[in-house]
């Protein structure tokens, strides 16, 4: 097995610095460069582990959606606390799994031998396809295969630079991954970056390789008409999107399919599912997912919003606490039947 870290650039210590804001730790580099505004502390790592369990249940324990039987090399863009990457590496011990993240802070202490989690690395390129697409996907799975040479980036240099920040051009060798996963990075990808981000992913894929993308549309919904604009959950959703509107496209989950198709991918398949905020559903499976998700939502409503609301919208801390407390109550209220589109 080759060492995928060969040739990487030594980690700049500025990536390691954190700043504490309203009691949570953030990566100073991400804040300074307006990359990502989520916390990177132990609480957030725990929440991401919990959220991963929610996803596993929602995806019927499938870590990989496309029909890949013996993957040799997989890239995870924005690995977070590493739960997905670790499980994939364990499930496919003969596969090299490489994770890239702008922040190393939530990286697990112990990882399988075939997993490399790095913050400074040369990226690779590939291309994808989708088969069939539906608008308004909650969670979008992007399956892509490399099509033909015309999708490769002609004459581009893949040397120099790093792809620790996914907003920067990937420097992995072209055609080197069987699968690229990108999950919940919308709040860290610049609004205008999406087309070139997907092109970079396509470039590092092997011919016939696949892309898998998952994003939550942070707009709490209910199908029974009981959730109004006056509800705290609706206000939280609107403010969260507004707080990052100038920088990020938090609705991108609804258009991943078209982005992939535009990038030349084929066999594009998108799927929209409901992620219940608590165990309100009469459907046993959805009720179980909602019940597990309740604790994640409780933490998420504060974690994802505390920096954007208090520092970017300048909301007083006391007002933030009231809004989050009301939103949590509503999330637990079975009559509202609230869910995130995924
Ligand atoms: C919400 S977490 C999701 C983590 C993981 N993908 C999962 O599904 O559990 C977002 C992660 O993406 C990373 N991230 C966000 N924007 C990034 C960027 N532009 N470049 C690299 N990593 C980024 C963050 O540091 C964080 O670890």
Distance separating alpha carbons of residues 109 and 82, to the nearest angstrom: 10
- Percent of the chain past pLDDT 90, that is, above it, reads 80
Pairing of strands 73-77, 96-100: parallel
pLDDT digits (tens, 9 = 90+) for 261-310: 999 999 999 999 999 999 999 999 999 999 999 999 999 999 999 999 99
Q: Which one of 102, 119, 182 would you pick to mutate in the ligand 1 pocket, going by the greatest count of ligand atoms within 8 A of its CB? A: 102
Sign of CA pseudo-dihedral 127, 214, 105, 91:
negative
Say what the pTM is: 0.87
Neighbours of 193 (CB within 10 A): 17
Specify whether the CB–CB gap between 118 and 99 falls below 8 A. yes
At residue 119, the pLDDT reads 57
How high is the pLDDT of residue 125? 26
Residue 89 neighbours by CB under 8 Å, 6+ apart: 95, 97, 111, 112, 114, 115
Q: At what angle do helices 317-332 and 232-244 cross, to 10 degrees?
A: 130
Q: Is 36 in the pocket of ligand 1 (CB under 6 A)?
A: yes
The residue among 144 and 281 whose pLDDT is bigger is 281
Ranking 2-6, 112-116, 170-174 by mean pLDDT, the lowest is: 2-6
Q: Does the structure show a pLDDT above 70 at 148?
A: no
- What is the pLDDT averaged over residues 106-129? 66
pLDDT band at 132 (very low <50, low <70, confident <90, very high): very low
Q: Which residues pair with 97 in a beta bridge?
A: 74, 115
Ligand 1 contact, 103 CB (< 6 A): yes
Model pLDDT, residue 178: 97
How many angstroms separate the alpha carbon of residue 42 from the centre of ligand 1?
A: 15
Please give the residue that has the higher pLDDT: either 160 or 305: 305
Which pair of tokens denotes residue 88?
């994939």
Residue 118 pLDDT grade (very low, low, confident, very high; cuts 50, 70, 90): confident
Identify any residues that bridge with 100 across adjacent strands, giving them in sequence order: 77, 118
- Tell which one of 52, 54, 80 to mutate to probe ligand 1, the residue whose CB is within 8 A of the most ligand atoms: 80
pLDDT for res 144: 41
Rg (CA), the chain: 19
Separation of alpha carbons 156 and 263, rounded Å: 17
Residue 293 near ligand 1, beta carbon < 6 Å: no
- The CB of 102 under 6 Å from ligand 1? The reply is yes
Helices and strands (DSSP H and E) totals, the chain: 9, 9
Q: Whose CA is nearest to atom 13 of ligand 1?
A: 78
> Residue 29 — left, alpha, or beta (φ > 0 → left; ψ -120 to 50 → alpha)?
alpha
- Residue in the block written with tokens 């700043």: 19
Nearest to 133 by CA among 249, 261, 253, 219: 261
Q: Does residue 123 register a pLDDT over 90?
A: no
Averaged pLDDT score across all residues of the chain: 86
| Helical axes 42-58 vs 284-303, angle rounded to 10° | 160
Angle of helix 42-58 versus helix 83-91 axis, rounded to 10: 50
Instruction: Return the domain boundaries, the chain.
Output: 13-122+160-341
Q: Which CATH superfamily is 13-122+160-341 part of?
A: Vaccinia Virus protein VP39 (3.40.50.150)
CA gap 259, 270 in Å, rounded: 11
Asked which of 26-40, 115-129, 135-149, 321-335 is least confident by mean pLDDT, the reply is: 135-149
Report CA torsion sign: 78, 81, 87, 90.
Answer: positive
Tell me the pLDDT tens digit for each residue of 41-96.
999 999 999 999 999 999 999 999 999 989 999 999 999 999 999 999 999 999 99
Instruction: Decide if pLDDT at 134 tops 90.
Output: no
Residues 221 and 210: their CA atoms lie apart, in Å, by 31
- Give CA angle at 261 (89, 276), nearest 5°: 60
Confidence grade of residue 14 (pLDDT, cut at 50, 70, 90): confident
Residue from 188, 198, 250, 308 whose mutation best tests the ligand 1 pocket (most atoms within 8 A of CB): 188
- Bridge partners, residue 77, by sequence: 100, 182
φ/ψ bin of 225: left (φ > 0), alpha (ψ from -120 to 50), beta (otherwise):
left
**Is the C-beta atom of 38 inside 6 A of ligand 1?**
yes
Q: How many residues does the chain have?
A: 342
Flag whether pLDDT at 142 surpasses 90: no
pLDDT at 133: 29
């Amino acid at each position: 097995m080759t060492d995928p870290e060969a040739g990487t650039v030594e980690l700049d210590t500025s990536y390691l610095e954190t700043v504490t804001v309203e009691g949570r730790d953030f990566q100073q580099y991400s804040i300074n460069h307006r990359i990502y505004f989520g916390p990177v502390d132990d609480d957030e790592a725990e929440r991401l582990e919990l959220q991963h369990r929610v996803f596993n249940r929602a995806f019927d324990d499938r870590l990989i959606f496309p029909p890949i039987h013996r993957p040799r090399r997989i890239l995870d863009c924005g690995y977070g606390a590493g739960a997905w990457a670790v499980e994939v590496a364990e499930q496919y011990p003969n596969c090299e799994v490489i994770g890239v993240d702008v922040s190393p802070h939530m990286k697990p202490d112990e990882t399988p031998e075939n997993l490399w989690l790095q913050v400074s690395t040369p990226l690779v390129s590939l291309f994808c396809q989708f088969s069939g697409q539906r608008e308004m996907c909650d969670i979008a799975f992007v399956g892509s295969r490399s099509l033909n040479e015309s999708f490769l980036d002609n004459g581009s240099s893949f040397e120099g630079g790093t792809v620790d920040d996914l907003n920067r051009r990937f420097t992995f060798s072209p055609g080197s991954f069987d699968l690229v996963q990108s999950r919940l990075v919308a709040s860290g990808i610049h609004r205008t970056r999406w087309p070139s981000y997907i092109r970079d992913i396509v470039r590092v894929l092997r011919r016939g390789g696949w892309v898998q993308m998952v994003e939550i549309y942070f707009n709490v919904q209910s199908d029974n008409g009981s959730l109004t604009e006056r509800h705290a959950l609706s206000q939280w959703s609107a403010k969260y999107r507004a707080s990052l509107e100038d920088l990020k496209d938090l609705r991108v989950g609804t258009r991943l399919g078209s982005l992939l198709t535009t990038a030349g991918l084929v066999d594009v398949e998108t799927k929209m599912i409901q992620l219940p905020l608590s165990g309100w559903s009469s459907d046993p499976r959805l009720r179980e997912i909602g019940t597990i998700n309740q604790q994640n939502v409780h933490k998420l409503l504060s974690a994802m919003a505390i920096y954007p609301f208090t520092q970017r919208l300048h909301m007083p801390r006391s007002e933030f606490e009231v809004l989050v407390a009301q939103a949590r109550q509503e999330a637990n209220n079975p009559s509202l039947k609230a869910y995130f589109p995924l």
